[in-house]
Each structure stands twice: as C-alpha cells, then as structure tokens.
Structure 1
C-alpha cells in the first residue's frame, strides 16, 4: 500500500493520501486548501488518479481543499450523511464501505467533536488503522463546545466504537499539536489523560472546563467549508 501523511503547520492538520500502489486510484482524507498544490504534485509524481476526497467533519480551523481537488481532478468529494455541506458529491452512512482500488474504508459515525463527525477504518476485515478526524487525538480528544459538539457523545464514540477496534489498530488523527504523528488504540486506552481510568462523568467535567478560545479561523473556515472551500 502507498501511504503518505502531509502536515499543514498553520493549522496543525494531518492529511492522508492512500493508494494500493503507484499508477493506481487514490483517496485523500482531510485535505487543506493551502496545501492543495502539494497534494497534486505528489499525485502526479506517483502517477496516481485521485478518485475520492474525504472530510471527516466540517473543520473550523482551516479551509478544506475538497472543492479545489474536485475541480483539478474530477474526484468525488465525500462526507458523512449529517453534514450541512451541500456541495459534496456523495455521503456515507454508518458501516458504509468506501472502496478505492482495494483500499477499503469503513465509515463509523463518531459524533462528539461535531454532530456530523465520521471516522474511517482502514481494511475493516482486519483493521489496520483508523482515521479519527478530531474526535480522538493523540493523548487528547477534540473539543466539544461548538458545532453541535457534546462531551457525552464524544465519550460514547470513543469508548463504544473506536476503543472496540483491535488494540493494535493505528490511530491517524486529523491534528496534533506536539509533534506526534500516530498512536494506537492500545496506547490511547492506556495513556490518554482524558480517558484512561476516567468515568464518563469525569470526562464530561474535563471537556466542559477546557475554556479554550474559538479557533482563530472559525468564522471564515466554517462557512467556506460548507461550500467545500470554494465559496
């Protein structure tokens, strides 16, 4: 399998490009508008055909590249069924399979960070990895105080869906702010300070008292992303 992880320093966003090999069809997850040319260069140099571009949720800290990539490659843009972004080409529901030339992604509805967040399990018959968007981060979790976020739903999504994946499953989040690039379900169960050894009530209390400022691009990014980043 061909796998590339890209990083946008401004928003600390990870983007993932996957294909079964050079010269094959490809899928990209959580692309950032300012990095679109970098993705297109990589796609060209590896002789790939981008056929799917996925956002795990409506991001508030950067503008998506979904629209730009669709315009450049005619790929199908995809989000979960509860998104308000009417511009996307297709939607997934719980347990839908996105199959791109043998790269299989199972959709999991994992609300909490937003009310429309989805995660995607790679090769779900024998899970290799899960792309968690913002609901589960490395030694952290996505905030739950805007865009329909809910700490109870976040807890449920993480403990009753993501944490039921095999412990060796790699966790690929949409963000990291400390330089970590990947984790695993086992690591997050054991070492995530918001979750390990905590009750749901304790987790909810933590999330309700983060007192974080709004993302600096929120007022720009959310409306733009509802238009797939192309206005």
Structure 2
C-alpha cells in the first residue's frame, strides 16, 4: 500500500509530499521546507518510516529547502535535476530516471520553463504526478526569472504532463488559494493559461504580461538552494531544546522523557492541570507538582517562573498537551508535556505522592 501525505507551509504556500511503501517503510519527500523539517521528521518517525531521498523539483526562490537539514538528521540523500545548477546533491536526476522506494518508484520528467532545471515526478502507475512550479492548479509557474521560458513551459506541459492519463491526479508545489489537487483532464480543459484551444503564442503573450513582483525571499532562498539548503556562511540549524531530552510530535507538541523527569524533579516546575478531585485521587500526583486546572491556567500564569522549565501533566496527556500551547502563548518557552500522563507514569512504576496501590 502507498502511504501518501500532503503537507503545507503557510508562510511560503508550499506543498511538501511524503510518499512511502508500507511494505518496506521506505519513503521519499518532495519539496521539503527548511522551517518545517522538524515537523517532517516527527511525521516520518511516528509512521515508522525510513527516509531515502528528499527531492526538490527545482531551485526554489520563495523558501529554503529542507533537504540539507533532513540529510543531516536522518541520513537521507538529496536529489535534484542535473540541469538545476545546484551543488551538494547526492543524486542528479535526468529525464526517464526512476527514484525507487520499496516496491514503488517515481519517474522523472524534465519540465523546464519556470526554471531551466524543473522536473515533474510521475508515480509508477501514473495515478499521481507532482508538477513542482511548472503546472499549478488552474495556473502555471512564472517564467520571468531564473532562465524561465514560456515556450519551453508550454511544450513541457503539453508533452510531459498533458500526455498522462486524464484521470492522473496532479499535485503542485504551491497554491495560494487553498486548492490541493487537480487532474490532467481538468487542466487540459479549464486551465486559463494553456488549456482548451489556447496555442503556444497565446500562452507566451499571457506570461509576458503577468507583471508579478519578485518573491520576497529570492535573495536568500536561491543562493541557499543552489547549495541544497545550506548557505556557505550560514549553516542554519533548527534549534533543539537543551534543558531536557525532548521529542517533537507531528501534532506540534514537545514531550518529555519520563525517566529524565523522575531523575530531575527538582530542576523543573511540574504543573498538574487536572481537577482538584483528580489531583487528590487514586492515581496520585508527581512530587512537587503544582495544581492549576486547565480552565484556570491562562489566568494564573503569573504564578509560574519563566526562568525555569515547565512540565505539564494530566490523567492521560491530552489536557496537558493543550496546556503547553497555552503556556507558549503566554511567553513560556521551555515547556514540555508528559505524554501518557499519570496513567503511564503509574504504569511505569514511577514515584508518586498520595496515590493508592
């Protein structure tokens, strides 16, 4: 079975795509965004996958790729078009190559026009294709910089994408209206730039009169992406909290290692967000815990020290996860949730006060 996830970066309106073979747990990630690398790693870990490749469909101008960070953290290989001009990739892709993951593969199709090094990726059974910034949903990528060429784009779309089955679903690298997917048949008929009876000259005339501003991040993104996501003078890293061994979840929550917490009770503030009867009930409570029910937390943050880390706890870890969100909104940075709450804490035989056996 194919595992498929469509992920979104709101800042750059970029879609990132995770594909994996469930039989082997081998995965690829298309068009990762640097600022979302932690999110992507959390999802890959939670699904029990092994990331083989990150694949950039082109040298992006509106965000920095997460390829370098993901390679650094997971050991994945970086793949990009051989015509991209990028340095530091592990694999340079050409027309017709296969990128294998388990029993599945993506086939590379060169689709220049937005840039000279754009590629589209077609799933082995031609039910899905990933078109980067070449063909968008009822639109196309722009052709006015990075050696763009409207004529090349028109030919690439008609020859390499519109030649796929009409039912093939198309997933672009961007959408600015919240649209998520289209199909070959739809775009052949309804794309206002090159669908229907529009010819190559019609398309070129349309594209030459878009009058779009340059992307805001172009001066940062392009140099970094020409090095696969790391600028030579600024090897940015996504910060990992240093106060404890934490795990970041796909839900966006930092979680604490329970063994570390038991061994370091004196160095953190423990905030129990259960109700008073639960706090005094049979599950007991963690020593030194302070009771602040979740419904009262937003109004009582002044009772907490912003200079000391906070661990939130409840019965099963749900309310305390929301407590970390509220605390971060209140300006507390060093915050983590005790996943599984008191149920897991007791099941692991950890120290409690006031609990029944």
TM > 0.5: yes
Query: Any gaps of 5 or more consecutive residues in structure 1?
Result: none
Question: Residue 187 of structure 1: SS of its match in structure 2?
Answer: helix
Alpha-carbon distance in structure 2 between the residues aligned to 1:203 and 1:163: 15
What corresponds to 1:148 in structure 2? Answer: 147
Structure 1 residue 103, shift from structure 2 partner: 2.3
What corresponds to 2:177 in structure 1? Answer: 178
Alignment of 1:74-223 (within 5 A): 74-123=75-124, 126-196=125-195, 197-223=197-223
What corresponds to 1:32 in structure 2? Answer: 33
Structure 1 residues 165-189: Cα deviation after superposition (integer angstroms, max 9, x where no partner): 1110000100001111000000000
Contact 2:24 2:102 (C-alpha < 8 Å) held by counterparts: no
Q: Return closer, same or farther for 1:182/1:224 CA change in 2, 3 Å cut-off.
A: same
Alpha-carbon distance in structure 2 between the residues aligned to 1:81 and 1:50: 21
**Which consecutive segments of 4 or more residues in structure 1 shift more than 4 A?**
none
Contact 2:115 2:146 (C-alpha < 8 Å) held by counterparts: yes
Give the root-mean-square deviation of aligned CA atoms.
0.9
Paired residues in the alignment total: 229
Higher Rg of the two aligned structures:
2
Structure 1 residues 15-62: Cα deviation after superposition (integer angstroms, max 9, x where no partner): 000101176111000000000000000001001010110000000000
Using the size of structure 1 for normalisation, the TM-score is 0.97
Using the size of structure 2 for normalisation, the TM-score is 0.63
Structure 1 residue 10, shift from structure 2 partner: 0.6
Query: Any gaps of 5 or more consecutive residues in structure 2?
Result: 232-357
Contact 1:23 1:46 (C-alpha < 8 Å) held by counterparts: no
| Higher RCO structure, 1 or 2 (CA under 8 Å, sep 6+) | 1
Alpha-carbon distance in structure 2 between the residues aligned to 1:23 and 1:162: 29
Alpha-carbon distance in structure 1 between the residues aligned to 2:210 and 2:162: 23
Structure 1 residues 84-121: Cα deviation after superposition (integer angstroms, max 9, x where no partner): 11111111110011111122100000000000001000
Question: Residue 99 of structure 2: SS of its match in structure 1?
Answer: strand
Contact 2:23 2:102 (C-alpha < 8 Å) held by counterparts: no
